[in-house]
Amino acid sequence: MKKEDSRLILSISLLCSGRNKDEMIKCLDSLMTIRRRMSSEIVIVDTGCGPDTKPLLSKYADKIVEFKWCNDFAKARNAGLKECSGEWFMFIDDDEWFENTDALVDFFNSGEYKKYGSAQYIIRNYTDFDGKGYEDAWSQRLMKHVDGLSFHGKIHEYLVPVTGNEAKIKSMIHHYGYVYKDKTGIFKKAQRNIPPLLEMIKAEPNNAQWRAQLIQEYRNIRDFSSMEQISNESLEIIKDIDQRTTNLFRGMFYEGVLIAQINTYRYREAAENIRKFLSDKRNTEKCNVGLCYYAVNAYWGLKNYQNVFIYAQRYLESYSEFSKKEDTTIDDLTFMCGNIFGRYKVLYCISRAVAAGVRCGNISVIKDYFNSFDLEYKDEPIIPFCHGISYAFANYDFDQTFVTIASEMCKHMYLRTLLMDEARKAEKEKPSQFDKLVDVYGMVDNNDDIYLLYLRLIYAFRHDRTRMSELYGLIFNYVVDFFDMDSKIWQMAEEAQVDLKSLFKATPFIKWKRSIDLLFDKHFDEKTDVVNEIAELIKGDGDLRFEYFRLKASEHYIEKKNDKSLQATMLNKYCTDCVNFYLKIYRPELFTGDTTVLPQECQFAMKFITAVTSEAKLKPIDYIKMLEACAALYEPFTDAVKTLILDYGRKKTEEFEKINISDGE
The Cα 196–Cα 204 span in angstroms is 12
| CB contact at 8 A, 111 and 191 | no
Residue 431: count other Cβ atoms within 10 Å of its Cβ: 9
Q: What angle separates helix 620-633 from helix 638-664, to the nearest 10 degrees?
A: 170
pLDDT at 569: 85
| Homologous superfamily of domain range 181-283 | Tetratricopeptide repeat domain (1.25.40.10)
pLDDT at 444: 97
pLDDT at 182: 86
pLDDT at 527: 87
Burial class (CB in 10 A: 0-12, 13-18, 19+), 508: exposed
pLDDT at 3: 45
The Cα 537–Cα 546 span in angstroms is 10
Strands (E), 556-639: none
| CB contact at 8 A, 444 and 456 | yes
Residue 482: DSSP 8-state: G
Question: Coil, helix or strand for 205?
Answer: coil
Which CATH code of 1.10.8.60, 3.40.50.1700, 1.10.3720.10, 3.90.550.10 fits the domain covering 10-179? 3.90.550.10
* Bridge partners (DSSP) listed for residue 159: 151
pLDDT at 663: 56
pLDDT at 564: 67
The widest CA-to-CA distance across the chain, in whole angstroms, is 132
The Cα 407–Cα 246 span in angstroms is 50
User: For the chain, what's the residue count?
Assistant: 665
Torsions phi, psi for 240 (to 5 deg):
-105, 5
Torsions phi, psi for 41 (to 5 deg):
-145, 155
Residue 231: count other Cβ atoms within 10 Å of its Cβ: 26
| CB contact at 8 A, 209 and 156 | yes
Which residues, 6 or more positions from 647, have their beta carbon under 8 angstroms from its beta carbon? 564, 568
Residue 178: count other Cβ atoms within 10 Å of its Cβ: 14
Sequence-ordered alpha helix ranges (H) in 7-53:
21-35
The Cα 502–Cα 200 span in angstroms is 82
Which residues, 6 or more positions from 439, have their beta carbon under 8 angstroms from its beta carbon? 398, 459
pLDDT at 4: 46
**Which of 591, 549, 556, 585 has its CA nearest to residue 570?**
556
The Cα 641–Cα 474 span in angstroms is 41
Q: What angle separates helix 450-463 from helix 468-478, to the nearest 10 degrees?
A: 170
Ranges in the chain, pLDDT < 70:
1-6, 336-337, 562-565, 660-665
* Dihedral over Cα of 182, 186, 47, 129: its sign: positive
pLDDT at 72: 95
**Which of 16, 118, 163, 140 has its CA nearest to residue 77?**
16
Mean pLDDT of the chain: 93
| CB contact at 8 A, 189 and 36 | no
Q: Where along the chain do its domains lie?
A: 10-179, 181-283, 586-664
pLDDT at 562: 66
| CB contact at 8 A, 308 and 342 | no
* Dihedral over Cα of 14, 19, 25, 30: its sign: negative
